[in-house]
Amino acid sequence: MREIYEQLGISPEVYEFGSKIEQLLKDRFEEFDRTAEYNQMKVLLAMQKNKVSAECFNSSSGYGYDDFGRDTLEKVYADTFHTEACLVRPQIACGTHALAIALFGNLRPGDELLAPAGKPYDTLEEVIGIRPSSGSLAEYGITYRQVDLKEDGSFDYEAIKNAVNERTRLVEIQRSKGYQTRPSFSVKQIGELISFIKKIKPDVICMVDNCYGEFVDTIEPSDVGADMIVGSLIKNPGGGLAPIGGYIAGTKECVENAANRMTCPGLGMEVGASLGVNRSFYQGFFLAPMVTKGALKGAVFAANIYERLGFPVIPDGREPRQDIIQAVTLGSPERVTAFCKGIQAAAPVDSYVDPEPWDMPGYDSQVIMAAGAFVQGSSIELSADGPMKPPYAVYFQGGLTWEHAKLGILMSVQKLAEKKLVTLPDPGSLL
Ligand SMILES: *Cc1c(COP(=O)(O)O)cnc(C)c1O
């Protein structure tokens, strides 16, 4: 084993360090195995119940009327997430697009959108109109209100109660922390928040941005009262095989409203050719619990490796996981660069490419990104990015297999060690 790792560029010292850390994570990994096993059964149950057959993999073109495979897949998603309906389409370009059609489809002029748990994901700022943008919800007369989390990261129930008013129509809660420093919310916490809001105003629509959260737990926000959950197929539920797409699962009314926005009023879910992606969508969804498990193992491995090397990590090495993102504060631009070069060097695609920081549109500092993915921008695949500004943190996620995630993390340590930017612990001190 050591030899094959050496051929890949991992020194015996780094390999040994990784092995020691891995040995300490047996119980955590078993916990992830059990969650994945449960979720695998959940997906299988939904596939069997809906009698998925070879016919489902057929392609449609043009209008896509009566696309049996597409319609059956939407039932499989709905049954897995325990919702009345689901929209799962390649016409949904990305996660932001899925979130935008869910919002535009369910809000009307004069309504108010409430974010009760802090600012939504960056890309939603222009959708909502927090940052002025042509075609935003704000331009259609939909107002926005936000309640920030309390200092300790908990929900500010008093302020939420005061923020809900007669115009509050839809509440948006983001499960994963994304690029913020707050902790990600557990499904249970989200359920408590939804109950609280529904008690104040029963008919308000509760929508959860579920990106990066699918299959991390045995329950989803739709199991604890969410009217709509929304996500991207180039993250967890696509299982690495979906080449594009997004989903909106929820009540029939909410999903149909979103579909009317995705296509148009009157056409809704009836049109939308599947263009040959059905098989990848099914197979990816089937694999998604396992792929998510691999990414979780990678995240926990990285947390423990970098904690042991003396860096602050969020979440820490022992905390329960709510999503697949791992943040590591490396404290210097040289370390951020070396880390990303390591992730890149471990990739199956473009491993020979050397990532450099660049001025990415929409960011206020240079950003360095590492991704050697089969699907462009897919972040269920092993990837990392770091804004080149204090505190010099990298955000790391994905890995289609645990073994690949492991190599990526070891390679990041290798690059840091070669540049003498970290000191490996004395092997004797580890067990
Ligand atoms: C990735 C992500 C999005 C946006 O998805 P894109 O596919 O990048 O448009 C929204 N919310 C969260 C929490 C995400 O992680």
Q: Model confidence over 295-334: pLDDT tens digits? A: 999 999 999 999 999 999 999 999 999 999 999 999 999 9
Q: What's residue 428's pLDDT?
A: 76
Pick from 189, 220, 222, 184: nearest CA to 299: 184
Which whole number is the average pLDDT over 394-418?
97
Q: Model confidence over 81-118: pLDDT tens digits? A: 999 999 999 999 999 999 999 999 999 999 999 999 99
Beta bridge partners of 328: 313, 394
CB of 371 within 8 A of CB of 351?
no
Share of the chain above pLDDT 90, in %: 94
Beta bridge partners of 205: 170
Q: Is 378 in the pocket of ligand 1 (CB under 6 A)?
A: no
- Backbone φ and ψ for 284, nearest 5 degrees, come out as -65, -40
d(CA 241, CA 140): 37
Atom of ligand 1 nearest to the CA of 94: 7
* pTM of full prediction above 0.85: yes
Q: What's residue 360's pLDDT?
A: 80
Q: Model confidence over 44-74: pLDDT tens digits? A: 999 999 999 999 999 999 999 999 999 999 9
Token duo for residue 306: 């970098």
Q: Is the pLDDT of residue 431 over 70?
A: no
CB of 242 within 8 A of CB of 280?
yes
Ligand 1 pocket mutation, candidates 125, 126, 208, 209, criterion most atoms within 8 A of CB: 209
Q: Model confidence over 331-367: pLDDT tens digits? A: 999 999 999 999 999 999 999 999 999 988 767 789 9
How far, in Å, are 67, 69, 259, 263 from residue 92 at the CA level?
17, 17, 10, 10
Q: Is 232 in the pocket of ligand 1 (CB under 6 A)?
A: yes
CB of 115 within 8 A of CB of 147?
yes
CB of 50 within 8 A of CB of 88?
no
CB of 258 within 8 A of CB of 248?
yes
Ligand 1 pocket mutation, candidates 96, 126, 176, 363, criterion most atoms within 8 A of CB: 96
Sort residue 141 into left (φ over 0), alpha (ψ -120 to 50) or beta: left
Q: Is the pLDDT of residue 289 over 80?
A: yes
Ligand 1 pocket mutation, candidates 173, 211, 228, criterion most atoms within 8 A of CB: 211
How many separate helices (H) and strands (E) can be counted in the chain? 12, 12
Contacts of 149 (CB under 8 A, 6+ apart): 117, 118, 155, 156, 182
Which whole number is the average pLDDT over 251-279?
98
Pick from 401, 218, 210, 234: nearest CA to 323: 210
Q: What's residue 362's pLDDT?
A: 64
| Span from the CA of 399 to the centroid of ligand 1 (angstroms) | 17
Looking only at the bridges linking them, the beta strands covering 383-387 and 367-371 are antiparallel
Q: Model confidence over 172-223: pLDDT tens digits? A: 999 998 877 788 999 999 999 999 999 999 999 999 999 999 999 999 999 9
Token duo for residue 403: 């073994």
Nearest CA to ligand 1 atom 5: 95
Q: Is 94 in the pocket of ligand 1 (CB under 6 A)?
A: yes
The CA-based angle 319-156-202, given to 5 degrees, is 105
Atom of ligand 1 nearest to the CA of 99: 10
Pick from 6, 26, 107, 13: nearest CA to 301: 26
Q: Is 178 in the pocket of ligand 1 (CB under 6 A)?
A: yes
